Structure 1
Amino acid sequence: MQLEPANVKPSIMRLKRARGQIDAVIRMLESGEECETAVTQLAAAAKAIDRAGYSIIATGLKQCYTQEGPEAIDTEKMEKLFLSLA
């Protein structure tokens, strides 16, 4: 199923923010910053990526449900997608 870009815009913004955090972590490591600061930023980026993933799955599920009906949802596929983020 194709996702509408407008529907996943919050996920796109979250991923862009995470990209900025990862860039910041790289700069910190290259300049010899404190370990705790770098790890804190890395954890924030990881959480943002996870949330974006769950949001994308939820958006796809909602879109499929409303456009094709509940019988069109492949529950095994949905389970695999959710578990891939766990």
Structure 2
Amino acid sequence: MDYETKMKSRIKRMEGQLRGILRMMEEGQDCKDVITQLSAVRSGVDRTIGVIVSENLVRCVNEGNGDQSIMNQSIQEAVNLLVQSR
């Protein structure tokens, strides 16, 4: 799968957030602020997973060329990936 620049930018943004969270922890900042930032990272990860799975699903269904069994298998794999990510 080819990952778009936007997708990579999402990951880099989360990486920066995690570094910021670590710095907050090292500075002894309030736990509410740390949790708020961790929740933001988790939401970002969840959204990124959704985008990757949906783009992959669209690609797989298009490659199925109308073959119902291939499309059903692709859908099931996408659902399994989403369930597994939780």
TM superposition score category, shorter chain reference: 0.7 to 0.9
Q: Is 2:35 the partner of 1:32?
A: no
Q: 1:78 to 1:32 in 2, by over 3 A?
A: same
* 1:84 equivalent in structure 2: 84
Q: Once the 2 structures are TM-superposed, how far is the Cα of residue 77 of structure 1 from its aligned partner?
A: 1.9
Q: Is 2:14 the partner of 1:4?
A: no
* TM-score of the aligned structures, taking structure 2 as reference length: 0.82
Q: Once the 2 structures are TM-superposed, how far is the Cα of residue 85 of structure 1 from its aligned partner?
A: 2.3
SS at match of 1:27: helix
- Tell me, in whole angstroms, the C-alpha distance in 1 between the residues paired with 2:82 and 2:66: 18
* TM-score of the aligned structures, taking structure 1 as reference length: 0.82
- Tell me, in whole angstroms, the C-alpha distance in 2 between the residues paired with 1:76 and 1:43: 28
| Deviations 1:46-71, CA, capped at 9 Å, x for gaps | 00001000100000001112233353
Which shows bigger deviation, 71-80 or 32-41?
71-80
- Aligned pairs, how many? 82
- Tell me, in whole angstroms, the C-alpha distance in 1 between the residues paired with 2:37 and 2:56: 29
Q: 1:62 to 1:34 in 2, by over 3 A?
A: same
Q: 1:70 to 1:84 in 2, by over 3 A?
A: farther
Q: Identity of aligned pairs, percent? A: 24
| Deviations 1:3-54, CA, capped at 9 Å, x for gaps | 1233xx3322212111111111111101111111111111000000010001
Which shows bigger deviation, 76-85 or 64-73?
64-73
Question: 5+ residue gaps in structure 2?
Answer: none
SS at match of 1:33: coil
Contact 2:54 2:78 in 1 (8 A): no
